[in-house]
Amino acid sequence: MLYKLVSRRSCKLIALKELADLSQVEDGYSTEGFVQLKGAMVVKGRYPSSMINAWKQYKRSMKSDKITTMLQAYSIVYQLFMAIAVAEIRLSFEHRDLNSGNVLITSADWHDIISMILEASLTARKYTYMHTVPESKS
């Protein structure tokens, strides 16, 4: 689960919702390159202890995966550019604070990727573009 803290007076929440909705096919363009918004709440005053504890636990468990090959780096940059391109086309979105601190990276198992693509093509409701590069055997 991912928490994004935004100020009460911020319109960031609307932007987060719009970016999450980019996974829905519209005008032929879609992307799953943005975090899905599961819910939102307004917190006034101090943060609840449950949120502080969750943040501390997340920081302890967070690991920094190293990019070990040029193919991994290419795949990450390519997927990032494709996600931003879809956001630009559909929402006239411009990212003004793109840095490694706001890019989430996860590894995907080939079996999961193939299953997801087959499921999407069989249901014909969702079209997903995914660019992955196999791990090099070094």
Please tell me which residue, 134 or 33, carries the higher pLDDT value. 33
In this predicted structure, the answer to whether residue 9 has a pLDDT above a threshold of 60 is: no
Model pTM above 0.95 = no
In a domain, 137, yes or no: no
Residue that has been written with the tokens 């990212």 in this structure: 95
In a domain, 91, yes or no: yes
- Tell me how far apart the alpha carbons of residues 88 and 11 are, in angstroms, rounded to a whole number: 18
Of the segments 9-18, 53-62, 110-119, which one has the largest average pLDDT value? 53-62
Whole-number pLDDT of residue 123: 46
Count of residues in the chain: 138
In a domain, 42, yes or no: yes
* Number of domain units in the chain: 1
In a domain, 19, yes or no: yes
- Tell me how far apart the alpha carbons of residues 24 and 15 are, in angstroms, rounded to a whole number: 15
Whole-number pLDDT of residue 19: 79
- Tell me how far apart the alpha carbons of residues 128 and 115 are, in angstroms, rounded to a whole number: 12
Mean pLDDT of 104-128: 54
Residue 31 exposed, middle or buried by CB count within 10 Å (0-12, 13-18, 19+): buried
Range of the domain at 53: 12-123
Confidence tier at 129 by pLDDT (50, 70, 90) = very low
In a domain, 3, yes or no: no
In a domain, 37, yes or no: yes
In a domain, 82, yes or no: yes
In a domain, 136, yes or no: no
